């Protein structure tokens, strides 16, 4: 419980800050709204290095929250996911993902999934449900803001239909 309170408080401040500044989170999936960093101090040194590779490479194109909070946990799924990302980076000159880095990322994601998503499944599921509710709220708020923006857009003037003398 003591660990969850600071996380919940931090998330509350982030959400409040976004609303106060009228910034919109660009979350495509509910898991984009989860934490983008995790504590890897207890991980083996090799996994700590893999985590740094993961953070550097994956953050080039999307939030690291996406894979960290995604429901994916099987090694075969992570291989497919990272292979897709590797293919996508070929079309983005600024993004680079070598095959060696891709393997390090898969190794990290499989290791991390085992610890956080499989061994602590109940905790991960509870967090997933919270993120799904938060995402639903963001979607509703986004729809409301989009409607309001459409209403506020300047409308073209109506054609003049008065007396033409």
Question: What's the pTM?
Answer: 0.70
Under the banding of pLDDT at 50, 70 and 90, the label for residue 7 is: low
Flag whether pLDDT at 66 surpasses 50: yes
Flag whether pLDDT at 15 surpasses 70: no
Could you report the per-residue pLDDT of 27-50, keeping only the tens digit for each?
A: 889 989 999 999 999 999 999 999
Q: Which residue has the higher pLDDT, 3 or 117?
A: 117
Could you report the per-residue pLDDT of 107-132, keeping only the tens digit for each?
A: 999 999 999 999 999 999 999 999 99
CA angle 39–41–115, rounded 5-degree value: 65
Positive or negative, the CA dihedral 67, 71, 74, 76 is negative
pLDDT at residue 19, rounded to an integer: 44
Distances (CA, A) of 51 to 3, 63, 144: 22, 14, 38
Helices marked H in the chain: 4-21, 45-58, 65-69, 75-89, 99-112, 121-152
Tokens at residue 87, please?
Answer: 């293919």
Flag whether pLDDT at 18 surpasses 60: no
Rounded CA-CA distance 135/18 in Å is 14
């Amino acid at each position: 419980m003591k660990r969850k309170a600071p996380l919940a408080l931090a998330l509350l401040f982030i959400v409040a800050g976004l609303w106060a500044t009228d910034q919109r989170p660009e979350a495509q999936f509910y898991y984009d709204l989860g934490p983008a960093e995790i504590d890897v101090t207890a991980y083996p040194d090799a996994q700590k290095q893999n985590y740094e590779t993961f953070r550097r490479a994956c953050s080039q194109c999307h939030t690291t929250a996406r894979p960290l909070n995604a429901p994916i946990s099987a090694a075969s799924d992570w291989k497919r996911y990272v292979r897709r990302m590797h293919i996508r980076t070929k079309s983005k000159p600024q993004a680079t993902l070598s095959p060696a880095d891709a393997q390090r990322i898969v190794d990290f994601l499989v290791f991390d999934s085992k610890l956080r998503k499989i061994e602590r499944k109940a905790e991960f599921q509870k967090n997933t449900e919270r993120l799904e509710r938060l995402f639903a709220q963001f979607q509703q708020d986004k729809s409301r803001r989009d409607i309001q923006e459409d209403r506020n857009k300047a409308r073209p003037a109506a054609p003049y239909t008065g007396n033409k003398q």
